[in-house]
Amino acid sequence: MRTRETSKTSATIGTAVLSLLVAAITSGTWAGGFSSPRSDRGHILLVDDWVRLPSTSTKSDSGQIENSDEVEVERSRSAPVASGHLQRGPDDAPVTIVEYSEFQCPYCRETEQALHHTLIKYSDQVRLVYKDFPLSFHKHAMDAALAARCADEQGQFWAYHDALFASGQLSPADLKATASHLGLDRESFDSCLDDRKYERSVRADQADGNRLGADGTPYFLINGKSLSGAQSAAAFDSAISTELNAPRR
């Protein structure tokens, strides 16, 4: 049966369940599913695993990736959003994975376990740079992206990122409840989210993705080479090994 996205929403998970999900994230025990790839014209693609944008798109330039503080794979610690894009892994890693993603995309969620395993396996050789690419037809994607940036103001981007993918609860009320469960200062967080403080930065990521050929999520660039759609750990391993074994220029 072909995998496809539907317009039906999941049943709301209770507060107690959300607490368990947050506990699982902070302890590093949560894991999602992932799929197997096929190759086509030198790219890694999957059938029906890519949430595509409508045919219209805009082209715009944006700034290059900036460095942020090193982030441990197993812990949530991030540099302020203003200093650059969020990343996991060392600045001097020989392989950089740039991920264009959003929190309502089911295929982005599928890929989380594979990314987690990849970053552990290549802890000193790979860095992951996260960029927002909320899709216009996902009702809560933009709000979720903004909320994650607000969480980063309090040094909790990755914990919040993982909590959203684990729970799938993305309404404005749910976004604020997740902040509470993670121990964030609610007054500061709510003000940041309600004011849509980082919308300009999120849209700059979207423009950057459009310029580089992203027309759906998830979309990855591994040292500049594209991978489209949900990826397995094996697909990441193959692409990373190719880069690590390539002749140095």
Question: Which domain CATH number covers 217?
Answer: 3.40.30.10
Residue 143 counted as domain residue: yes
Residue 7 counted as domain residue: no
Residue 37 counted as domain residue: no
Residue 203 counted as domain residue: yes
Q: Tell me the pTM.
A: 0.70
3-state secondary structure of 149: helix
Residue 228 counted as domain residue: yes
* Confidence at residue 249, expressed as pLDDT on a 0 to 100 scale: 65
Closest by CA position to 9, among listed 160, 195, 202, 139 = 139
Distance of CA 240 to CAs 15, 125, 235, 237, Å?
Answer: 39, 9, 9, 5
Report the domain count for the chain. 1
HSE toward the beta carbon, residue 99, CA cutoff 13 A: 24
Give the model confidence (pLDDT) of 148-157 as tens digits. 999 999 999 9
Segment 174-198 shows an average pLDDT of: 98
Residue 72 counted as domain residue: yes
Residue 193 predicted with pLDDT over 80:
yes
Confidence band of 55 (pLDDT split at 50, 70, 90): very low
- 219: containing domain: 46-54+66-245
Residue 208 counted as domain residue: yes
* Confidence at residue 119, expressed as pLDDT on a 0 to 100 scale: 96
Residue 200 counted as domain residue: yes
Give the model confidence (pLDDT) of 99-156 as tens digits. 999 999 999 999 999 999 999 999 999 999 999 999 999 999 999 999 999 999 999 9
